[in-house]
Amino acid sequence: MSEAAQEVFENAIALQGRGDITMALSYFRKALELAPQDTEIAYHTASALLQNGQLEEAQSQLRRIVFTDPNHLKARASLANCQLLIDDLDNAKTNFSEVLAQTPDNKNALYGLASVLLKENNPVEASVPAKILQNLLPDNTAVLTLFAETQAKTGQIEPAVALYRKALKEDPDHVPAMLGLAQTLLMRKQFKDVIELAVTAAQLSPQDPLPLEMLSVALEGLGELEDAQEACFEAAKLAPNSSQYLTRLSILSRKLGDHVNSIKYALNAHDSADEPIGALKALGAALAALKYSNEARKVLTDISSNCGLDPVIREFAETLIIEKTKSDINDRHSSEAVPTPNEKNDSINEHPTPTVSAPDDDLMPNVLGLHRQDKS
């Protein structure tokens, strides 16, 4: 490494130590230009790229290092982490395993391999590296949470709960442990405990829809359907194209007797889904609830035949939405505009969204801290 490259590299390290990753990365790049063959500079540049979320470039840089020096275990482990983050699970597993073959107690690789195996829905195998890691780091919150997940997914509910609670004792604000514990307690139908955990997690991680989904499930378990629907609304706002949340909204709307929105959500869920079976089942249930048994049966028959949504049924459902909307408006003697056939596409394609009004004397706060019209 030349003197000029060394000076720039040291400045980059200092900037990285102060948390200024963007500026550090620019210095690492400059140092690498001055010493393109220097493996240490290349590795630190790749690490900064990884920290900065530039996964593809980081992967490219790490691959070059590993190709040049196959025994650079830090680079191989970082490459595996990169591949894990982009869901290249096969290559990630291979690289983590190669690191562990040479250093069986490599904490990064143990954590990474367990994470890959969990993503592959193989919790039994994942529990092996997770247990080794937990023995090495018995009080680490992330490690306890990881091991707890393997236990929960292998049916070891009591040990899983104990591990999650230990993780939260170490770090009461660790959202993954909260969500893992909430998911595990859902299996035991401890809905009130789940609500407490989900609300706290939603406050700590307001852009994550998962706490709101768990809150919705727990509220439904307690029979609080309106609050369950509102929680799901909030989750859907954070992930508006999620067929999972749209399907859930369809089911909750049907249970609340809101058949128009039940059908709307089911159609939108179908259009957003890669695998629309759940959305089609929700549509069939909504049609059945309105006593359109033939159409409901057609939807369910087409699911078993992998035929998808019949265009005739879609047109029937869309027309039904318009007719039911007109009927409901007339029944309420509302002054709202009635959708015309020319407005049909807009009324179908636009996701129905919740309207949260400002609080006043006629509105009651719900479990989310929001306000809805009290219908009791």
When the pLDDT of each residue in the chain is averaged and rounded to a whole number, the result is 86
Q: Assess whether pLDDT exceeds 60 at residue 374.
A: no
Q: Give 308's DSSP letter.
A: -
The pLDDT value given to residue 329: 61
Q: Distances in Å between the alpha carbon of 177 and those of 122, 141, 153, 232, 358?
A: 20, 8, 14, 21, 34
- pLDDT tens for each residue of 152-205: 999 999 999 999 999 999 999 999 999 999 999 999 999 999 999 999 999 999
- pLDDT tens for each residue of 265-312: 999 999 988 888 999 999 999 999 999 999 999 998 888 888 888 899
Q: What stretches of the chain adopt beta strand conformation (E)?
A: 363-365, 371-373
Q: Assess whether pLDDT exceeds 60 at residue 129.
A: yes
Q: Distances in Å between the alpha carbon of 183 and those of 148, 157, 192, 200?
A: 11, 11, 13, 14
Cβ neighbours for 71, distance < 8 A, ≥ 6 positions apart: 102
- pLDDT tens for each residue of 116-128: 999 999 999 999 9
Q: What percent of the chain has pLDDT over 90?
A: 62
In this structure, are residues 214 and 186 in contact, taking their beta carbons and an 8 Å threshold? yes
In this prediction, residue 339 has a pLDDT band, given cuts at 50, 70 and 90, of very low
The pLDDT value given to residue 332: 60
- pLDDT tens for each residue of 201-240: 999 999 999 999 999 999 999 999 999 999 999 999 999 8
In this prediction, residue 150 has a pLDDT band, given cuts at 50, 70 and 90, of very high
- pLDDT tens for each residue of 68-78: 889 899 999 99
